[in-house]
Structure 1
Amino acid sequence: MGGCSAPNCSNSTSIGKQLFRFPKDPVRKKKWVVNCRRDFEPTPHSRLCQDHFEQSQFEEIARSPAGGKKLKPNAIPTLFNVGDPPYPAVTTSYILIPLKPEPVEKELNFGDHGYARRTPLPGMEEEDADRTAEDQQPCTQCQLLKKQLEQEMQHTARLQKEQAEEMKKRLYRLDRIEKGLQNFLYEDQIRALSLTKRSRRAVWSPETIMKARKIRCAVGTKGYEYLREIGYPLPSYRTLCNRLETKIMVTTDMSCEELAELGLGLMASCDSPTGVVGDNDEEELISVLS
């Protein structure tokens, strides 16, 4: 059987000593080799006996399958009968602690441009006091930038105030315009002003239909179409025909006002008494009757 790999040690299992193989972990194996004071590469058959481990490196209760002592998972041998080692023995696990950065003073004066803080040497307190007084003086460039920033903030506040005043004036003018439109336009006509020209989304009230019929009778077909062309909110001729209770068109010498008084739901051309129908009316009339 093999014996202990430690220098100056001939223990083996034949004399009742328990042997332990080198760990597979390369870090722990390196610690064992360093503590052995030997420059060699352990083989799978290399062993260290129990005499090289302190009692604290063994489990208190747990035992090996053969009934012997059992090493702790992080056990390291430290007991060797050798001279001064070429380098210190490893007794504990390696713990790498990162270096802490030097503390940095965060509270600096606005005009302070000193980038170093040091403890004055004896006899240099007065010189350092003079330098500190110079460093604490406000920086010219910093003061200039601060002044420019204040000016920009004042200019921005002034522009915001002017824009707010302009918006108030516009809202006041729009309110007056809306009240003026309400004097001769209905609500649906005011809404139609915001729609595209001849938009089919416009919804006309019965009051607007009756008003449009009177305007068409008063100004004629060409005048009515001219009002619609320049943007006056009025329904089309086809809409007027579709909104009649009875879709009947007649040619008569009676005026629109006289037909309206009869209450027959009839609508006549508002041109000359000869009953000549305009081009647009004739085309739309054909489409309605068909």
Structure 2
Amino acid sequence: MGGCSAPNCSNSTTIGKQLFRFPKDPVRMRKWVINCRRDFVPTPCSRLCQDHFEESQFEEIARSPAGGRKLKPNAIPTLFNVPDPPSPISPAEKEQNLGDHGYARRQPKSEAEEAEGGGGGTQRQDVERACAQCQQYKAQLEQQQLHTARLQKEQAEEMRKKLHKLNKMEKGLQMFLFEDQIRALTLAKRSRRAVWSQDTVLTARKIRCAVGVKGYEFLRDLGYPLPSYRTLCNRLEPKIMVPSTMQEELVELGLGIISTCDSPEDNGAGDEALLGVMS
């Protein structure tokens, strides 16, 4: 068996000293630890020897099963060899709790029985008040959780409706726009990153010939996804640039000219025109 856990004490059973284990009751165990002047948590093997208890802490007649002296159920150790120690808990300050020193036959009192003593009513009221606050906080937390769940459900429903509306809009755009035109709607206005398909270029050329230069540029200013005039010139193959004065002569020669479109700077004068030639 080990020795005494008190500071500056090396007593053990080998020299005839009786050892007592720390009580299981946490309140009384804390008082023992405080009086020991040690910052530690007692283990089941921790013991204090008989030299740390006053004579008044032992029962006069009763003996332990091992034949040694028996501590009172509420005994508190107060004798320790510690320089300049803090004020210990005296036996007069101890509560009437029944401890367990390894041989005590009586069971410790419950908290309800201890509360029946002095100040028990106040402690019971404090506990009941704390429990009421806990229930109130719990109810508030449940309300907040329900409110959060309701908001999440409403937001999810709103997003679902917006997504359905966007899908319908996309299907409507696909009826008169190509995929590259729909993609161009998500880019900045007149963005140079737009990549136009050949179908879009041919359709844009027809629109420009139908509405004229000003009408075509007006549509592009409104945000209609159409290639620029330069893109039309670069993408149309085969192509030739001829003065407008030669248009009638080319028609008479029967070169298969299908259309003529004025350039953005052409106001009806004899400037160059873009001619698409049939292959």
TM-score (norm 2): 0.49
TM-score (norm 1): 0.47
State which structure, 1 or 2, has the greater radius of gyration over its C-alpha atoms.
Answer: 1
